[in-house]
Structure 1
Amino acid sequence: MSKGAAYLDGAYMPLAEAKIPVTHWAYRRSDVTYDVVGVWEGNFFRLDDHLKRFRASMTRLRMTPRETDDEIRAILNRVVALAGLTHAYVAMDCLRAAPPPGAPRHPAFAPSYLMIYAVPWVWVAPEDMQARGMHLMIPKVQRIPPESFDPRVKNFHWGDLTEGQFEALDAGADFAILLDAAGNVTEGAGFNVFMVKDGTVVSPDRGALEGITRASVLELCAEAGIPVEIRPIPADEFRAADEIFTCTTAGGIMPASRIDGRIMGNDRPGPVSARLRARFWERRAAGWHATPVRYTVT
């Protein structure tokens, strides 16, 4: 199972064999919540935090799979061990099925179940892109507002993010950063964003997932004595930032070097971004928030 191992509704299998029915609402309605935890050098990073957020998302969507948190923890470990991976991208999905025959066509009558899998590590931004800095842009499409769907619940409602990525492609950029209806920065396709202005790190206060890696960035800033502000970031202020960086499970801290064609600094990651990125991986190597994978499969 070196290409990927999966657990689907009670059974383990190679990832290529994991399939869901096309009639399930997980597929037909994107009625899914998910989380992703990384494994680096044989250690999960912030596993408890990911499990807590995953459970909160399931509760918010009224999903009740049969597995307990301890059982989910064991399944995550087992799929990594079955695949034999020391660097892995490990996804946990809770999917809504369809109501059984004769039941009302209402989500309350559709059971939920888990799909969990591990594949070799995935970079959101390749390492060479991180070294030169991501090229970002602000698209016309706006982020789905929190009043429509709570962005703190990880979900597959990526229509806006996907459209933004096509706008980025057309503009010759790597990734799009979406604004809300008030013109403030929210997030990108699978990552949180920060800007640096006059030595202060600033991150949006609403409209985005409260990322686990984002929490790690705030911890690193506190350790280093770097001032932090959590507040609205208007688009023009974001475009004028001294530095911009992003963060996600599948990539850690990922600096940018351009925004809407404007070159920041010397067209390379700025000093604060580079310092935090280096410190993030140093701390990871030292066992920060680490849970070792048990590779003995019984």
Structure 2
Amino acid sequence: MTQRTAWLNGEYLPLAEAKVPVLDRGFLFADGVYEVTAVLDGRLVDSAAHLARLERSAGAIGIPLPVDAAGIAAVERELIARDSITRGLIYLQLTRGGTDDRDFLPRAGMRPTLLMFTQARDFLANPAVEAGMSVISWPELRWTRRDIKSVALLGQVMAKQAAAAAGAQEAWLVEDGFVTEGASSNAMIVDEAGTLVTRSLSNALLHGCTRAAVLALAAQYGVPVAERAFTIAEALAAREAMITSASSFVLPVTRIDGQVIADGRPGPITRRLRELYIAAARA
């Protein structure tokens, strides 16, 4: 892909030419939300779920959508076509907008800023599919409304930096002794009984679209599911561990804090759920 396209407030233009005012509240206050939707075989994956979550996040902080869900999906498909994306992502960011002087209290009637652009990425070729990935445990430093997909991602950035410094690819965030989620993913384990375990939905974690799809597939294909909190110690004693996200689908976790899980290889349930998810996305 030689040129990337952005859609900004109703206009298609080269990504390098897309500009947002310095006084935009997304820049000054992280006053905004975002979504990331996967593209596989040139088609959006779990689009309806991502758009529903966008509406929920925007509603939670009182930002009206300047374009309805159907209109957003149409723009995303046009961006895929313009940038010839076969595998990759669509990034969407919605802020409260504003060009007034800096003030914590937003002026009524501000025009929101809505931005979308593509990213080419071959996530099917991820080496972690066969090798597994390493995660570290990291203190939960974020605010309490993690169910809102906020653009305020400093806590996640710090966790990702710590993971990279430790030679790992992800961090599992721990609060009151229990894993909430990954820095950019939902966390799951397969316990000794063969049950797929992941934390139940609440304000403590993002309501992952891929998470929901994987849990539905697990139930459909006879894998028991338990939605409850688990500890790092329980994860280390598990048969398998994995993450789910729009940018990775399902990936096996084989090490936590340098300690090997089970035999250190991706497990059969993780492999099967990844296969099922990709097949469902392509269908």
Instruction: Indicate which of 180, 183, 186 corresponds to 1:186.
Output: 180
**Corresponding position of 2:9:** 9
Deviations along 1:93-126, whole A, 9 cap, x unmatched? 101223536x975224343121011221364x96
Local SS of the residue matching 1:20: coil
**Corresponding position of 1:197:** 191
Shift of 1:74: 1.6
* Structure 2 residue identity aligned to 1:24: D
Shift of 1:268: 1.5
**Corresponding position of 1:175:** 170
* Structure 1 residue identity aligned to 2:36: V
For structure 1, which segment, 188-197 or 84-93, has the greater mean C-alpha deviation from structure 2 after superposition? 84-93
Shift of 1:65: 3.7
Matches within 5 A, 1:61-210: 61-98=61-98, 100=100, 106-109=105-108, 110-121=110-121, 123=123, 127-139=126-138, 141-146=139-144, 150-180=145-175, 182-198=176-192, 199-205=194-200, 206=202, 207-210=204-207
**Corresponding position of 1:224:** 221
Distance in 1, Cα, partners of 2:69 & 2:16: 25
Matches within 5 A, 1:226-265: 226-265=223-262
Residues 89 and 122 of structure 1 are in contact (CA less than 8 Å); yes or no, is this contact kept in structure 2?
no
Q: Which has the higher contact order (CA 8 A, sep 6+)?
A: 1
**Corresponding position of 1:214:** 211
Distance in 2, Cα, partners of 1:220 & 1:104: 46
What residue ranges of structure 1 are gaps of 5+ in the alignment? 288-298
Task: Give the ranges of 4+ consecutive aligned residues of structure 1 lying more than 4 Å apart after TM superposition.
Answer: none
Local SS of the residue matching 1:48: helix
Deviations along 1:54-86, whole A, 9 cap, x unmatched? 111111111124212222122112111211222
**Corresponding position of 1:44:** 44
CA gap of 1:19–1:126, structure 2 versus 1, over 3 A, is farther
Shift of 1:265: 2.7
Local SS of the residue matching 2:207: coil
CA gap of 1:3–1:239, structure 2 versus 1, over 3 A, is farther
Shift of 1:241: 1.9
For structure 1, which segment, 32-41 or 150-159, has the greater mean C-alpha deviation from structure 2 after superposition? 150-159
Deviations along 1:247-272, whole A, 9 cap, x unmatched? 11111101111111111233221121
Residues 99 and 107 of structure 1 are in contact (CA less than 8 Å); yes or no, is this contact kept in structure 2?
no
Distance in 2, Cα, partners of 1:133 & 1:211: 21
Local SS of the residue matching 2:127: helix
Deviations along 1:184-225, whole A, 9 cap, x unmatched? 101112111101102000001242111110011101111111
Matches within 5 A, 1:256-295: 256-285=253-282, 287=283
Local SS of the residue matching 1:92: strand
Residues 89 and 118 of structure 1 are in contact (CA less than 8 Å); yes or no, is this contact kept in structure 2?
yes
